[in-house]
């Protein structure tokens, strides 16, 4: 049924919107973008920055358009003298409390506050004598740095952490001008339930949240003649990094990315997708084993380090459900420093493995004490998509005009199944492609499993594997994962296999991806990955010739002794605060 329509007037224009539409949205529908800061389309209404105030006839005061529903006959002015005066004053007040280090700020070109200050014509600060805070940075986390001095208290990080991720690692503490966004007892992000997912970074309008950068470590390794530096790139990076060079969302730039990384000076350009195919071999066999030997079910994927830390904190009783497979990043590091190092005659300690990830939690994952199975740290440095883009910018590489180049062999060889790891449902689909053929020994004709694709937070499907009804579920965003975990904890989960990705949309919406990241952009990145899959000559992990080779030459068989040592891991119960 069509919802009731509301007629109102905005800036002398007649507007018709469905009942329940906010004035902010109604204004947008006629091309008026009312400036705002605390509003975010993925989050609940907060109505606190007051920047989006508008004048509404018969209302004694200005009203926040984000929190005011359009009403029949409403007469709204978004651009009156009174509104402009209020908006400017509010921005002036925010700036009076904000460091003036825009030139060196991480958000230099993409800061929402800076843009609004510019757009509203703020050229002079009248509260210049005001005190500035000098809060200590929270640098405890290996993934995320919080700079409270740049916080404008919009609460977007708090809302994404509790509403989208069901974590609640941060909240407002104290009141008035002394209000701060803090962790429990100010223990620091590394010492509370923070999963390092970095969604807070994506929604932060200023430079108050950023990744802990590894750029200089990577430059130092590249410049060190004694180091053989290899780089691996996660699937989701190729569908997003172009955005940081002004390309439209959904641009697939695998070849340009590869050539740019080669120009940066990496010795070998490899692909995490190789390790994704390896993951499917190991995880697929683990699943088959659990199903046939009545092991712990449902089995849940383990690729997403934010998800892993979440379950370690919140559902430690469910740890036996998590696949023992390391994530592709860590599998890559472990085989690069053993299998590949041995192949080219380099000692593991002379090899430096860099990952380019759409993810901030990968930085934490690489530092986990159990990730040293090659004898040294398996992955030396993790860069987010944004950091990789910055290095390319720093080197003056004209990314958009770079030629397309291929990955190096053998750890750059991969399949379409690995590409879709970057989208929610992709690991599931890749696993099903392989599991079907391994279990049935038949060829899977239609490789697409549409039921597990798309941006829905929770997706379920029943897959007929030659008579075996495999029940599967896919969750993205930890609040959705929580629903599946609660079922498991109660012993009511009907599924055999579950894929969970910490971030909305999967890795393509990861906390290390270009800013902005929103639903529309996530959809376009997903489409790019599925496009890449479609164009790949091989679309099933077990058909990857490099995978066949590594088992023949080195690992012997999935879940074999070497695999157990290098490719599998264990988990740790963590505290709640």
Partner 1 sequence: MKVILKNIEKEGYDGSIASYISEGGYEALKIALKKTPEDILSELKKSKLVGRGGAAFPTGMKWEFARNSKETPKYVVCNADEGEPGTFKDRLILENDPHMLIEAMAIAGFTVGASQGFIYIRGEYFKAYDVLTAAIEDAVKNNCLGNNILGSDFSFNISLYRGAGAYVCGEETALLDSLEGKKGQSRVKPPFPTFVGYQNKPTVLNNVETLSNVPQIILNGGDWYSKIGSADCPGTKLYCLSGDVKKPGVYELPTGITLKELIDTYGGGVDGKLKAVLPGGVSSSFLAADQLDVKMDYPSLQKAGSMLGSAAVMVVNDTHCMVDLAKRCTEFFDYESCGKCTPCREGTKRAREIFINMSQAAGEATDIALLKELQDVMYDTSRCGLGQAAMNAAGSAMDKFPSEFEKHITKKNCELGICPMEKV
Q: Which residues bind partner 1 (CB under 8 A)?
A: 45, 47-51, 53, 61-62, 64, 67, 82, 85-86, 89-90, 93-94, 96-97, 126-127, 129-131, 152-153, 171-172, 174-179
- Shortest distance (Å) from residue 100 CB to partner 1: 16
Q: In whole angstroms, how close is the CB of 88 to partner 1 at the nearest point?
A: 9
Using the structure block, give the residue that is written with the tokens 């004898």.
Answer: 375
Residue 35's nearest CA partner among 24, 46, 45 is: 24
Sign of CA dihedral 338, 340, 343, 344: negative
Least distance from partner 1 to the Cβ atom of residue 27, Å: 17
**Is position 507 annotated as part of the catalytic site?**
yes
Q: Please name the helix (run of DSSP H) or strand (run of DSSP E) that holds residue 501, with its range, or none.
A: strand 497-501
Catalytic-residue membership of 286: yes
Distances (CA, A) of 210 to 1, 97, 195, 292, 490: 44, 20, 15, 45, 37
- 361 near 143, Cβ under 8 Å? yes
Contact 181, 175 (CB under 8 A): no
Q: Does 365 participate in catalysis according to the annotation?
A: yes
Q: Which is nearer to partner 1, 99 or 265 (CB)?
A: 99
> HSE (CB half, 13 Å, CA atoms) of 506?
35
Structure tokens at 15: 């507007």
Q: What is d(CA 363, CA 379) in angstroms, rounded to the nearest whole number?
A: 9
Which of 23, 154, 52 is CA-nearest to residue 94? 154
Task: Confirm if 531 and 446 have CB atoms less than 8 A apart.
Answer: no
Catalytic annotation on 323? yes
43: left (phi over 0), alpha (psi -120 to 50) or beta: beta
**Catalytic annotation on 283?**
yes
Q: What is the DSSP letter of 381?
A: E
Minimum distance, C-beta of residue 115 to partner 1, in the bound complex (Å): 17
- Nearer to partner 1 among residue 74 and residue 90 (C-beta): 90
In the complex, minimum distance from the CB of residue 293 to partner 1, in angstroms, rounded to a whole number = 47
Catalytic annotation on 503? no
Integer Cα distance of 35 and 43 in angstroms: 17
β-strand partners of 54: 63
CB of 207 to partner 1, least distance (A): 18
Bridge partner list, 231? 269, 354
Question: Among residues 112, 286, 387, 429, which one is catalytic?
Answer: 286
* List 150, 362, 482, 540, catalytic entry: 362
Burial classification of residue 197, based on how many CB atoms lie within 10 Å of its CB (0-12 exposed, 13-18 middle, 19 or more buried): buried
Residue among 49, 52, 154, 303 flagged as catalytic: 303
Q: Which residues are catalytic?
A: 283, 286, 303, 323, 362, 365, 370, 507
């Amino acid at each position: 049924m069509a919802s009731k329509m509301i007629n109102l007037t905005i800036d002398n224009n007649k507007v018709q919107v469905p009942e329940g539409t906010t004035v902010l949205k109604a204004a947008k529908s006629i091309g008026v973008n009312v400036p705002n800061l605390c509003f975010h389309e993925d989050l609940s209404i907060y109505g606190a920055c007051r920047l989006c105030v508008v004048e509404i006839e018969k209302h004694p005061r200005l009203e926040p358009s984000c929190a005011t529903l359009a009403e029949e006959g409403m007469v709204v002015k978004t651009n009156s003298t009174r509104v402009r005066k209020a908006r400017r004053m509010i921005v002036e007040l925010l700036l009076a409390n904000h460091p003036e280090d825009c030139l060196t700020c991480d958000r230099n070109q993409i800061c929402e506050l800076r843009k609004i200050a510019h757009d509203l014509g703020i050229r002079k600060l009248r509260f210049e004598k005001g005190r500035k805070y000098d809060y200590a940075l929270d640098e405890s986390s290996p993934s995320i740095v919080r700079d409270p001095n740049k916080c404008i208290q919009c609460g977007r990080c708090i809302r994404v952490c509790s509403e989208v991720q069901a974590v609640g690692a941060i909240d407002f503490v104290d009141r008035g001008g002394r209000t701060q966004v803090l962790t429990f007892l100010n223990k620091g992000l590394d010492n509370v339930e923070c999963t390092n997912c970095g969604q807070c970074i994506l929604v932060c309008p200023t430079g108050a949240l950023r990744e802990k950068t590894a750029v200089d470590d990577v430059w130092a390794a590249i410049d060190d003649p004694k180091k053989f530096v290899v780089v691996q790139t996660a699937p989701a990076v190729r569908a997003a990094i172009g955005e940081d060079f002004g390309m439209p969302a959904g641009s697939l730039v695998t070849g340009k990315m590869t050539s740019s990384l080669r120009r940066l000076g990496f010795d070998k350009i490899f692909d995490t997708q190789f390790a994704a195919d390896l993951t499917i071999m190991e995880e697929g066999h683990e699943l088959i084993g659990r199903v046939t030997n009545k092991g712990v079910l449902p089995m849940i994927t383990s690729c997403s380090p934010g998800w892993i830390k979440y379950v370690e904190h919140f559902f430690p009783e469910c740890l036996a459900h998590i696949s023992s497979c390391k994530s592709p990043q860590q599998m890559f590091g472990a085989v690069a420093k053993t299998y590949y190092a041995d192949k080219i005659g380099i000692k593991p300690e002379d090899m430096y493995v860099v990952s380019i990830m759409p993810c901030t939690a990968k930085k934490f994952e690489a530092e986990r004490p159990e990730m040293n199975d090659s004898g040294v740290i398996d992955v030396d440095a993790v860069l987010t998509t944004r950091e990789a883009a910055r290095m390319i910018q720093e080197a003056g590489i004209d990314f958009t005009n770079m030629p397309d180049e291929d990955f190096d062999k053998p750890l750059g060889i991969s399949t379409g199944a690995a590409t879709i790891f970057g989208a929610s449902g992709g690991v599931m689909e890749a696993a099903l492609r392989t599991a079907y053929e391994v279990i049935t020994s038949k060829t899977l004709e239609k490789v697409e499993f549409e039921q597990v694709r798309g941006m829905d937070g929770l997706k379920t499907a029943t897959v007929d594997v030659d008579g075996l009804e495999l029940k599967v579920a896919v969750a993205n965003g930890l609040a959705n994962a929580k629903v599946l975990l609660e079922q498991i904890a109660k012993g009511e989960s009907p599924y055999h296999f579950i894929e969970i990705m910490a971030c909305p949309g999967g890795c393509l919406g990861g906390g290390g991806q270009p800013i902005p990241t929103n639903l529309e952009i996530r959809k376009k990145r997903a489409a790019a990955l599925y496009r890449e899959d479609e164009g790949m000559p091989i679309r099933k992990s077990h058909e990857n010739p490099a995978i066949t080779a590594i088992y023949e030459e080195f690992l012997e068989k999935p879940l074999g002794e070497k695999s157990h040592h290098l490719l599998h891991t264990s988990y740790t119960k963590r505290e709640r605060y």
